[in-house]
Amino acid sequence: MKVTASQYALVSERLAGPMTRAQALRLKGLAQEAYQPKQYAADLSCDEAARRIDGLKAEIALADPF
């Protein structure tokens, strides 16, 4: 799949922008579940929120014995 320069610019702009409401809710819930409330911050970028969500999901999966 080819990505044009304008498509790339839109994607990179979106990732640099603030996290979405869905990301905020997901991150807050995962941070509470993992007992790491400091992982949530209201001023995160979309990209940073995605990284933290992935990290918390991986950590929770490792802690789950089943």
pLDDT value, residue 10: 61
Tens-digit pLDDT profile for residues 12-52 = 666 678 999 999 999 999 999 999 999 999 999 999 999 99
pLDDT value, residue 65: 78
The amino acid at 65: P
**Confidence band for 9, pLDDT divided at 50, 70 and 90:** low
Q: Is 66 helix (H, G, I), strand (E, B) or coil?
A: coil
Q: How far is CA 42 from the centre of its chain?
A: 12
Task: State yes or no: pLDDT of 60 exceeds 70.
Answer: yes
In the chain, the number of structural domains is 1
- Look at 27 and 66; give whichever has higher pLDDT: 27
Non-local CB neighbours of 17 within 8 Å, separated by 6+ positions: 45, 46
Query: Rounded to two decimals, what is the model's pTM?
Result: 0.75
Domain that holds residue 9: 5-63
